[in-house]
Amino acid sequence: MFSDPAGNSVAIARQYMDSLLVESRVAGAVRPDTAFSFLGETFRTPIMTAALSHIDLAGMAEGARQAGACVSIGMGGNEEFAGVLATGAKVIKIIKPYADPEAIRSRIAFAEENGALAVGMDIEHAVNTDDAEDSVVVGLQMKQPTLEELGTYIRSTHLPFLVKGVLSAHDAVVCRDLGAAGAILSHHNGLLKYAVPPVMVLPEIRRAVGPDFLLIADGGIESGFDAFKALARGADAVTMGKALMGPLKEKGAAGVREVLEKATAQLQAMMIRTGTPDLAHMDPSVIWEPVPYRHG
């Protein structure tokens, strides 16, 4: 049903997203509010930027700030991070699972000292896709953190810690129990082949972790319609990555702002047609899915 001959998880997730259908509950619907309370801040939208890198991160952050959106950023040094924070955006810094613990500790310390909203780690980028060796990312050695190491990083900071790369109820519960504030559900553009789509596994993860653990859906969110499906299925927020990159390159911050504002308007359109007045009233029963996949 949802398949790709090469196990391309990006393609599989797109098919799954497009298979989800939405029923209408427009009778008596009121104009919806997309205000999003998150980690003590209020944003205009639950659509945030994905943890990108090797692009104009300050431009991306400025565009997101103008759109009233939260920003997450990926790998890079503290100087680049400072440029992102200087935009005034609220920033989540996702730190790589570096083999060198000092590389992690120094980034957490910088985030704490310079007013980041939260930190996290993309644990899905520790090992290679085609063998079990630790990854080398732009020349930097990664290492799969042990549970003890991950727990130590989580507990070492007063900032909320989000674990990126969670794609099962198992890992979500483990991360919650280690003290993480939430998880970013992601296969990082297909690092796991044949990955279950984040939006497919979301309801099971939500049931397992309960209502208070933050769940952010990452990967393949290209519109506010996609965002709505993820939010209705239990996400607190969603991220947009690749969909921002072309507009950022063409128009800088204005391109990012335009994409996020358009997606937020589409989300609002889907909310009014489903009788969803605000984010607290997202209801998974408005979504119809064709095939109930089960654990094998």
Ligand X SMILES: Cc1cc2nc3c(=O)[nH]c(=O)nc-3n(C[C@H](O)[C@H](O)[C@H](O)COP(=O)(O)O)c2cc1C
Among candidate residues 260, 164, 263, the one with its CA nearest the CA of residue 214: 164
How many residues interact with ligand X (rule CB under 6 A)?
A: 21
Of the candidate residues 12, 20, 47, 50, the single one contacting ligand X (CB under 6 A): 50
Reported as half-sphere exposure (CB side, CA atoms, 13 A), residue 176 has a value of 16
Distance between CA atoms of residues 48 and 243, nearest Å: 12
Residue 241 binds to ligand X (criterion: CB under 6 A) = yes
Of the candidate residues 17, 20, 48, 51, the single one contacting ligand X (CB under 6 A): 51
Phi/psi for 92 (5° steps) reads -105, 120
Residue 219 binds to ligand X (criterion: CB under 6 A) = yes
Build a one-symbol-per-residue string for 186-215: x at contacts with ligand X by CB under 6 A, - elsewhere: x-xx--------------------------
Residue 218 binds to ligand X (criterion: CB under 6 A) = yes
Distance between CA atoms of residues 80 and 154, nearest Å: 23
Nearer to ligand X, 166 or 270 (CB): 166
Distance between CA atoms of residues 198 and 226, nearest Å: 12
Nearer to ligand X, 19 or 53 (CB): 53
- DSSP annotation of 278 reads B
- In angstroms, give the least distance from the CB of 3 to ligand X: 19
187: its two tokens:
């296969």
> CB under 6 A: which stretch of 32-40, 46-54, 99-107, 264-272 binds ligand X?
46-54
Nearer to ligand X, 56 or 62 (CB): 56
- In angstroms, give the least distance from the CB of 275 to ligand X: 28
87: its two tokens:
């935009």
Cβ count near 88 (within 10 Å): 10
Of 65-84, binders to ligand X (CB under 6 A) are: 74-75
3: its two tokens:
């398949």
3-state secondary structure of 296: coil
> CB under 6 A: which stretch of 52-60, 208-216, 225-233, 272-280 binds ligand X?
52-60
Residue 221 binds to ligand X (criterion: CB under 6 A) = yes
* Angle CA 9–121–170, to nearest 5: 60
Catalytic (active site) residue 54: no
Distance between CA atoms of residues 119 and 97, nearest Å: 12
Q: Given the residues 125, 170, 188, 295, select the one marked as catalytic.
A: 188
Q: Annotated active-site positions, please? A: 188
**List of residues contacting ligand X (CB under 6 A):** 50-54, 74-75, 94, 122, 164, 186, 188-189, 218-221, 239-242
